[in-house]
Amino acid sequence: MNGFGRFVAEADGLVVQPRMGFGSPELMRRGLAAVRDSGTLAVGTITLDSYTRVGSHDVARAALAAGDDLNGYPIVAHPVDTTLAVVDGIAGAGFPVQVRHGSALPQDIVAASIAAGLYATEGGPLSYCLPYSRVPVREAVRAWRESCRLLARLRETGAEPHLESFGGCMLGQLCPPSLLVAISVLEGLFFQRHGVRSVSLSYAQQTNADQDAEAVHALATLAGQHLTGHDWHIVIYTYMGVFPRTPHGASALLAEAARLAARTGAARLIVKTVAEAHRIPTIEENVAALRTAADSATSTTYEPSTQDTGILAEARALVDAVLALDDALDTALVTAVELGFLDVPYCLHPDNPGRTRTFVDHDGRLRWSRLGALPLRGIADTGGDHDVTAAGLLRALSHVERRFDDAAIEQDLHALHLDRPCEPTSERNA
């Protein structure tokens, strides 16, 4: 085992990682160097721009020629020599760099990354198709099969490519933990069956910390049962939904994500910054987020799984039902979406059945309200007849933002009250 997976496996503590990308090669290089020198146990990220994600490489080239700012690094539009210069002397065994993109059809991105000596990336045939594209699932599965095989050939050179499933982050929010766990496991298995041995499985922080901890333990259990070898790890994403707008609220949410990773034994954490709700973060804000996360994780110890509300049983039922559809996982994934065995709530992709619904209960737990055709009858509790109205959906979408911002404002007001010196009664009444 070597490369990205080996670095994470041998790290002495939680590995932290930004979601950082810039169109300018000079700025991208400076950002990577700052992360490397941040004083944290970190890996680097080159996050790609929106044009590259959808394959509009000519548009990206035109934007570069016009001097336009891009919201990420256009790895296909930039010449290979440019990207080689970006990572020269920075990326390596002691500081691996992952390319993050969001593409349902990633072959060009994978080829450009390989040409630049970058052998770690992420995504998946469902997780980068259903939320982010209109590409048919069948076509995305084929594209990801081809991309896996491109990466797998690197082993002939002695390299060990790495692929991370984005399956634990479907739509960012309001997708129950069992479906996140199941898709992440299925995508990790897909990668391995197509030759990529070093994989990671994702889980995005949701609305309740205890529910999240149970889900991550369930993910580890199923990964241990289905993935071959030992080169796999779990990566936690800081909340992917509507982010708190206050600096204190955003920092508190990030700290909770770091504690989730530490208490569940996850190996890596994708951070977010205090600027997340407002704009693309600066290099300095990314580095500050890495340090906040690292400090929070250091003060938290591992806790074995102590509760069982059915997440493991649900996730296992979903995985088993999909695998039973066909010996060829490619076919099974396509069929599972067609039959509604995998159905992402509120996802508008044409292939997604769209018959499932969820709600946030009074404890802040994310639960099913409609199962559609999910193979969970008699396993999942739908919480009774709980149809979500448009207003209820908006409240659910802002649940985390409001909880952390309200707590931050309350804390600030309390501090102001305590710090304000008392005025003499005579002056106050004058």
Dist. CA 380–CA 259, nearest whole Å: 28
Q: What pTM does this model have?
A: 0.92
Q: How confident is the model at residue 89 (pLDDT cuts 50, 70, 90)?
A: very high
pLDDT at 412 over 80: no
Give the C-alpha distances (Å, rounded to integers) separating 209 from 316, 368, 408: 21, 18, 18
DSSP string across 168-227: GGTTSSSS-HHHHHHHHHHHHHHHHHTT--EEEEEEE--S-HHHHHHHHHHHHHHHHHHS
pLDDT digits (tens, 9 = 90+) for 142-192: 999 999 999 999 999 999 999 999 999 987 778 999 999 999 999 999 999
pLDDT at 384: 60
Radius of gyration of the chain (CA): 22
> Token pair for residue 307?
């509760």
**Nearest 5°: phi and psi at 163?**
-125, 135
pLDDT at 392 over 60: yes
DSSP string across 353-419: ----EEEE-TTS-EEEEE-TT-S-TTTS---SS-PPPHHHHHHHHTHHHHHHHHHHHHHHHHHHHHH
Least confident segment among 87-101, 236-250, 320-334:
236-250
In this prediction, residues 346-375 reach a mean pLDDT of 93
Dist. CA 219–CA 368, nearest whole Å: 19
Q: Quickly count: other Cβ atoms within 10 Å of residue 322's Cβ.
A: 24
Q: How confident is the model at residue 261 (pLDDT cuts 50, 70, 90)?
A: very high
Dist. CA 183–CA 347, nearest whole Å: 15
Percent of the chain that is helix, strand, coil (3-state, to 5): 45, 10, 40
Burial class (CB in 10 A: 0-12, 13-18, 19+), 187: buried
Q: Quickly count: other Cβ atoms within 10 Å of residue 378's Cβ.
A: 7
Dist. CA 352–CA 357, nearest whole Å: 13
Mean pLDDT computed over every residue of the chain: 91
Burial class (CB in 10 A: 0-12, 13-18, 19+), 94: exposed
Residues whose CB is less than 8 angstroms from the CB of residue 351 and which lie 6 or more positions away in sequence, other chains included: 130, 136, 137, 337, 338
User: What is the residue extent of each domain of the chain?
Assistant: 1-430
> Token pair for residue 316?
């296992």
Dist. CA 32–CA 73, nearest whole Å: 12
pLDDT at 385: 58
pLDDT at 429: 37
Enter the DSSP assignment of 89.
T
**Nearest 5°: phi and psi at 45?**
-135, 135
DSSP string across 6-28: HHHHH-SS-EEE-----SSHHHH
Q: Does domain 1-430 have CATH number 3.20.20.240?
A: yes
pLDDT at 122: 97
pLDDT at 415: 60
pLDDT digits (tens, 9 = 90+) for 196-227: 999 999 999 998 999 999 999 999 999 999 99
**Is residue 228 within 8 Å of residue 195, measured between CB atoms?**
no
